[in-house]
Amino acid sequence: MSDRIYDVIIVGGGPAGLTAAIYTAREKLDTLILDKMFCGGWPNMTGVIENYPGFPEGINGMELSAKFKEQALKFGAEIREFEEVKGIIPGKIFEVKTPQGVYQARSLIVAPGSRMRELGIPGERELLGKGVSYCATCDGPLYRDKEVAVIGGGNAALEEALFLTKFASRVHLIHRRDKFRGEKFVVGELEKTGKVNFVMESLPVSINGENAVESVIVKNKVTETEESIDIKGVFIFVGVEPNTEFLRGVMDMDEGGFILTDEAMSTSTPGIFTAGDVRAGNVRQIVAACGEGTVAALSVRNLLVEY
């Protein structure tokens, strides 16, 4: 363990974590970001982002992430990628454990983000990477002129389905309700393409295929009849789960594992703040994550005035 004590360690390099780092580093606080992958978070897997302020023509997700990272580095933040935090020991000085070592800090901002929730149906895990995907931006181009299915009804599902219409010959959008939870604007854009088959009030029962996806079985909730849809790919967007396993017992969470905070982004453990997808009540939008990262950073600044 190094003798160096950071002013703040930020766990997670997505929009919330990088924004927080921009603020803390600009305040001349000794700032370290630890990310289990490479910085950027969900935007790295998004093609065009059209609702982030300042980019009326839209911006590529990876490009936006790169700008966040560049700005944090400009102000002096230290970034260590591919270094996953495995545990935190609270105290006057916090200890943050990774496979590479133990780091110390006077305060923490935890913003490790979330992961896609699984359906838990037969064929999902067995055919992962063989037609089953959780990232249309990553795998969409592989399905040029082929039929695919998208499962979900929120903004992520709608936006990824729209992206897939650029490649697939037909997109079967499967949703368990009679109305979508996502933006009406995107639904309208999907309708305009003429390439989307809306399979409403239906649940996926199984994903089938020997060595690759061949079909999906869906059950209509109203008629209780089952239908087999021939496809080559299935893209699943049915919600997220927080990456907070390493934080259990360290701070208060809700039943879903999302972290409970006050308006200052303070957790139940003094000196630890949070922001982004892992915070209970977050709307899971990039601009919201950035706002929460800002609040967390300013809370850290106010805390460290005492030192």
Other CB atoms closer than 10 Å to residue 255's CB: what's the count? 6
Q: Distances in Å between the alpha carbon of 306 and those of 113, 243, 295, 297? A: 29, 31, 18, 15
The question of whether 290 is a catalytic residue gets the answer no
Report the distance separating Cα 39 and Cα 207, nearest Å: 33
| Catalytic option among 138, 178, 252, 254 | 138
Residues 6+ apart with CB under 8 A from 77: 21, 22, 24, 25, 31, 32, 33
Report the distance separating Cα 8 and Cα 298, nearest Å: 12
Report the distance separating Cα 299 and Cα 271, nearest Å: 9
Residues 6+ apart with CB under 8 A from 48: 58, 59, 60, 61, 163
DSSP letters along 55-109, please? -TT-EEHHHHHHHHHHHHHHTT-EEEES----EEE-SSSEEEEETTEEEEES-EE
| Catalytic option among 35, 139, 277, 290 | 139
The question of whether 138 is a catalytic residue gets the answer yes
Exposed / middle / buried, residue 183 (Cβ in 10 Å: 0-12, 13-18, 19+): middle
Report the distance separating Cα 198 and Cα 133, nearest Å: 19
Order of strands, sheet of 226-230, starting from the edge strand that comes earlier in the sequence: 202-208, 215-220, 226-230
Residues designated catalytic: 135, 138-139
